[in-house]
Amino acid sequence: MQIHYFGLSSFKIITKEATVITDPFDKESGLVPPRGAADIVILAEKNNKLYNATSGISGEPFLISDPGEYDLKGVTITGIPLLQDEGRYVTVYLIESEDISILNLTHIREWNIKQDDLDDLGEIDILILPVGSNSVLTPKLASQIAHDIEPKIVIPSHYDTDGLKLPNEKVDVFLKNFGGKAETMDKLIIKKKDLIQDKTQLVVLEALR
């Protein structure tokens, strides 16, 4: 499995059978919108223009934009809606493939998942969580969530990157709150057997350009 980062809450996850793209963002963000072929596109908030710019995605991808359970091309996806401020919902997704489980907290600002729902997700191998404050989690809350879930790998998202017009915090603020040393890489290549069992690895992915 490979995981690439476009910026904000947009990732490309490549498995043996499918390419998944999450939350392709609009050019109004100041960043170049994600482009490329995909088999599956996942939207956490389908009515939010910033995160539903699918026009740059080629192929004939299957669109997932609502909570529920989906199973296609060797990928199982479970969407859980979380109530946010102003009565809106943002869906977080558990993505499972190649015996690896990824919990993507997309661009939530409030962490109000029921404990039973969290327990039902099982053991989380990789946690992707927004850390930039303002419209998403604060670095302090994101750090607390990561320590509570205890995944094998933590990947921060939705922080300040070159060209971004949103007033996000830099990733360093989260890293300081979380503690430990981060590895920076252009993509994460991972197999189940590579996951370290006794500690959490912190990975910062460089945004694709």
pLDDT 10s digits, 117-149: 888 889 999 999 999 998 999 999 999 999 999
Global pTM reads 0.96
For CA atoms 189, 193, 194, 196, the dihedral sign is positive
Domain 2-205: assigned CATH number:
3.60.15.10
Tens digit of pLDDT for each residue in 64-84? 999 999 999 999 999 999 999
Mean pLDDT (whole number) for 157-173? 93
Q: How far apart are CA 14 and CA 19, in angstroms?
A: 5
Q: Are 161 and 130 in contact (CB under 8 A)?
A: no
- Determine the pLDDT at residue 35: 94
Q: Give the number of other CB atoms < 10 A from CB of residue 88.
A: 13
Q: How far apart are CA 42 and CA 208, in angstroms?
A: 18
